[in-house]
Amino acid sequence: MPGFQRHVFVCVNERPPGNPKGCCKSKGSEQVRDELKKQLAALGLKGAVRANNAGCLDQCETGVTVVVYPEQVWYGHVTVEDVPELIERHILRGEYVERLMLPDQPHLAGRLSSPALVRPPAKEK
Amino acid sequence: MPGFQRHVFVCVNERPPGNPKGCCKSKGSEQVRDELKKQLAALGLKGAVRANNAGCLDQCETGVTVVVYPEQVWYGHVTVEDVPELIERHILRGEYVERLMLPDQPHLAGRLSSPALVRPPAKEK
């Protein structure tokens, strides 16, 4: 049974072309998800961190939308180029990436960090 | 910006017919998601609680899989008939529904409850 230290949900919802809100899929969310999965796997974090597809997270205008649990930090306008920083700072060190955070997250009560990840033991070869 | 008190992710992943693990979609996950969304809306909980589609949560054998954040409580074998109890007990009162919990969730450290939901004020008509 997984007890993920961080569980990253990436909106991959698709809306019809021409929808004024746009959608995360058309903004590259699948590439963001793929890059997250690839880099997390390369770091040996399977079992500790999971990146998941999510349906519409209701933040279409500011997509690609990513939310990291359990701390519930919302990120917007995320691109593939942002993935290394999200992993290095937030996922590993617990430091939220302020420049990507959506505004007005009162549930965080001003917190900008969570405990650093406890790295799983390296697998024997 | 949403600060959900509880965010419920329902796996709606589909695997090809004949996959030995099965998949949550073939076990009725879309109906579970729809019923969750319907009942949460009827209770006026929009903004406080959200039910979301999720991609594969890697618990295919024990699907339909549901995980409730921020507490990260994992449920398995969830059916449409279980939705009222999940909402009444876990979502509203914060009491986890033990009979549906997947085994071995050490990240909960034995906790079986979280704070009750703070109900949003009723909208004026």
pLDDT of residue A21: 86
B68 versus A125: which is more confidently predicted? B68
- The conformation of residue A28, written as its DSSP 8-state character, comes to T
Which chain A residues touch B56 with a CB distance below 8 Å? 52-53
Which chain B residues touch A59 with a CB distance below 8 Å? 1-2
Buried b (16+ CB within 10 A) or exposed e, A52-70: bbbbbbebbebbbbbbbbb
Place B1 in a pLDDT band, splitting at 50, 70 and 90: low
Q: Is the pLDDT of residue A1 over 90?
A: no
Which chain A residues touch B59 with a CB distance below 8 Å? 1-2
Task: Say if pTM beats, i.e. exceeds, 0.80.
Answer: yes
The mean pLDDT value of chain B amounts to 94
Place B20 in a pLDDT band, splitting at 50, 70 and 90: confident
Token representation of residue B66: 């549901």
- Cα distance between residue B108 and residue A118, in whole Å: 16
Closest CB from B3, B7, B103 relative to A1 = B103
